[in-house]
Structure 1
Amino acid sequence: MRRYRYRQRRYRGWSNSKPSKVSVLVNLIGHNALNMIIQRFYKSSPEELDLMLRLYGAEHGESAKKYARTSIGKWKSGTVKISGQTQDRLVRLIPACLNTDERYVIAKEICTYHLNQKYKKTVNISINTEEPTNGLNALSTAIQGFYEADDIVELPERLTKAITWLADDDVTIARSILAQVEEEEAKLIESKAYEEVDAIESLLKKDEIDHLNQRIEFPNGYIQISTFTPRKPFIQRILASLFGD
């Protein structure tokens, strides 16, 4: 009887490969923030570029510095693809060379990215057109729940890590940036939402709508608003048809 030897084979598609540096970066800060940081590097003034490359060389060596200086034009034009390792190094370096406003803009983009990854909550509000007070009160309470919610105030670990990274590992600066982003976000949500409430109230008072179906969008979810008019009892409808309202 012939014996068959089993030879274990490794298939490339089945191997447990590590995620690339770019995918790790995107997972941490998102495509937009990564692109913002790299583009900021490309748009640096000669003085800023000298500072960035000096720091880059101090961290990664003179040969890496020379390679970056000779390659920046090719990376920018796309003739040479910038590696994941280089992007990782630049993302760790460049924020330290930016002013507070620039860091804030990037931090806000990172916050938006992380917020969009989270579960979006929804609230449905139904308003009686004949007695709208209770429905409008419920709507105001729901709105308050969106901009004072725990999911805005809490700092998810991954988001904290991303902003700390952006703030050159300074936790105090990171939390300050996040607090500023959250405060601005809350004000925008509140302002937009109450504009919607005022518009709905105005329509209800003028009896200009038979039925309303409207959504107020928030970064962390939405409120779906609808109106209804109660059906009058049968006797009232008969009397109304005979004698009018």
Structure 2
Amino acid sequence: MGGIKKKRNNRNNKKNKMKKANKLKAAYLASKGDNKNEDLNVEHQNEVELNPNKRYHEDNDSDNNEERPKKKKKKNSQAINQDSTDKKGKKSIRQIKREKYLQRQAEAELEAKDQLKLQCLTYLSQWKHDKANWKFMKAKQVWLYKNKFSSKLLPDESWPLLLEYFESSQGNIRNMLLEDANKIIKQMDDWTESQQNTRENDNTEEKADDDNVPELKKPDETSYKRARDLIQCLQ
């Protein structure tokens, strides 16, 4: 019994010795590591003292790394230009919308002109066939006056009615009608005379002089005929 107890005590003593040895070894290693760090710090400090610019560069580099903002990536202008142009000859969406808007606007103006034309012709017809309900409107009379020589706006079947409407006109409107009609007659006479002179001039020198004279425009037959009818009606 005494021998077993002795063996147990010896075993415990060995464990305690090993623990103390490990503690001493750990303390030694720790002290050695601290000394190593101190040596490195001393070496670094000595190097800085010999070369003071090194510390400035190290500090400056660290500050630049922290404060330096990230550079923004530049947008690829070539890609933007390619997107805007796409393919040559292809219209952009904005251009297509503008063309559609102009087309709608032109159609609206044309429709408004057609409605005004219909209203003025109805006004003229009502003057002849329904005077009880007819009412004078200066705007419609002005439209009839301005478009009296146009076969597109004032059809041929409405021309005799317009002559009758203006036949009883007095004052300034009557003088203006005669003045416009006489301009058409004179324009036709001047054009006819210029054509006769051209046929009579066979001399090349005279032809060269005629090249500097502007060519006269011939009035259309409808305007000329209506001008003659208007003069006969009002004089």
* CA radius of gyration, larger in: 2
Q: TM-score, normalised by structure 2?
A: 0.25
Q: Relative contact order: is structure 1 or structure 2 higher (C-alpha 8 Å, sep ≥ 6)?
A: 1
Instruction: Name whichever structure is richer in strand by fraction.
Output: 1
Q: TM-score, normalised by structure 1?
A: 0.24
